[in-house]
Structure 1
Amino acid sequence: MTRGGWTEQRNSESDALLSALGSKYSAEILCAAGTPKSAQALSEDIEVPIATCYRRIEELVDAGLLECEGRKLSNEGRRTNIYRRTLDEIEVDFSSERPQFSQKRRTEAKNRLQDRLR
């Protein structure tokens, strides 16, 4: 369901969102992933161990909050995945029997504009 640019989630999707957001470092990773970044860059930016960062990235991708935007060569010459968050805002409503989530998705136009400004 959509209202004013916000997309509401179903129960199973809401459970995945709540689980992913409840993990330590998830919010920090989402904040840092406003621009495309590798797991290594995210790990360094928020000062979290790389193994933990990879686990959180997997949870966030599974919940649809983060996506792999492509691959690029690292400074060491290895192919590495580049991630960016899929939303800018999320709203949680606890007034019902189950939490209800609404999220404001990032548009491709916003991503392209942000990439040009970097």
Structure 2
Amino acid sequence: MSHSPQGGNQEARSVLGALGSKYSAEILCAAETPKSAQALSDDIEIPIATCYRRIEELVEAGLLECEGRQLSEEGRRTSIYRRTIDEVEIDFSDDRPRFSEKRRTEAKNRLQDQRRE
């Protein structure tokens, strides 16, 4: 696990805030493979507007990233998202929360994508 850098207090707050929102954890679980906001919304059965808000929070916290764009079934260009981490550990034993994370590697992403095909 990589530890957040010195001064990672803001980063810890951002991660805690994003994870504290309803449906954020479910979105991260569903985004193991690249998915559009619509697919994530459908997978976890939440309104698309809520899904977009959570995606924005998770991207800002660095837990989810846009992997690119693809054409939807309706022919519109849509962003595709995948989580950037597999685990987050939060330590509350100090005066401020600290966290460490296990980031996803490109190799793991490629392996996951090959399994889907």
TM-score (structure 1 length as normaliser): 0.95
Q: Which residue of 2 aligns with 1:17?
A: 15
**Counterpart residue number, 1:36:** 34
- Hey, what does 1:107 align to over in structure 2? 105
Equivalent-residue separation in structure 1 for 2:57 and 2:3 (angstroms): 20
Structure 2: gaps spanning 5 or more residues: none
After superposition, give the CA deviation of every residue in 1:61-89 in whole Å (9 maximum; x if it has no partner): 00000000000000000000000000001
Cα distance in 1 for partners of 2:2, 2:24 equals 20
Q: Does 1:8 align with 2:3?
A: yes
Displacement of 1:93: 0.7
Counterpart Cα distance in 2 of 1:47 and 1:7: 33
Q: Which runs of 5+ in 1 are unaligned?
A: 1-5
| Number of positions where the alignment pairs a residue of Structure 1 with one of Structure 2 | 113
Q: Does 1:49 align with 2:44?
A: no
Moved over 6 A (4+): none
Picking from 75, 82, 85, the partner of 1:84 is: 82
Q: CA RMSD in A?
A: 0.5
